[in-house]
């Protein structure tokens, strides 16, 4: 019986290690393109007239062709002067897994407790939207 348990335990351990190290078991869908996290915090200087913040868009897999995505910020007319998206369309180049854009923040116009809600919409059939909420916090 002891001869049976030792090899069986080794096979079980090897199987568990294989499952744990499998790269296909990510938390993202197979063809996901969007933000790495759903929330971020940006600390800004209240006395600055303008700041920039870099936001990365990631893809789970590299593709042989360019991928176009559309970015938008959900904001109310009252908060229109507090921040601005520099690009509304981005391209993740062929063979790459990420791209980045910048948001201009105007700290003097930021209201306490403000959030920036950024939406990434892939421009191909079957692409799913992803959203990022950025909390603006003063220094």
**pLDDT tens for each residue of 86-104:** 999 999 999 999 999 999 9
- pLDDT of 114: 86
Separation of alpha carbons 115 and 134, rounded Å: 5
Per-residue model confidence as pLDDT tens digits over 117-135: 999 999 988 888 999 999 9
Using an 8 Å Cβ cutoff, are 138 and 93 in contact? no
Domain 26-138 architecture: Sandwich (2.60)
Using an 8 Å Cβ cutoff, are 55 and 118 in contact? yes
* Residue 31 pLDDT greater than 70, yes or no: yes
The answer for residues whose C-beta is within 8 angstroms of residue 13's C-beta and 6 or more apart is none
- pLDDT of 80: 73
Helix (H) or strand (E) holding 115: strand 115-122
Using an 8 Å Cβ cutoff, are 39 and 133 in contact? yes
């Amino acid at each position: 019986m002891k001869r049976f348990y030792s090899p069986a335990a080794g096979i079980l351990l090897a199987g568990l290690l294989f499952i744990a190290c499998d790269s296909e078991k990510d938390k993202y869908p197979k063809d996901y393109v969007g933000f790495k996290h759903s929330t971020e915090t940006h600390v800004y200087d209240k006395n600055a007239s303008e700041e920039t913040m870099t936001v990365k868009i990631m893809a789970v897999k590299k593709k042989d062709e360019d991928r176009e995505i559309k970015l938008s910020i959900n904001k109310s007319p009252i908060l229109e002067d507090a921040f601005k998206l520099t690009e509304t369309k981005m391209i993740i180049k062929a063979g790459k897994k990420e791209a980045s854009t910048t948001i201009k923040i105007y700290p003097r116009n930021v209201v306490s407790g403000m959030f920036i809600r950024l939406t990434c919409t892939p421009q191909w059939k079957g692409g799913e939207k992803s959203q990022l909420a950025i909390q603006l916090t003063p220094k």
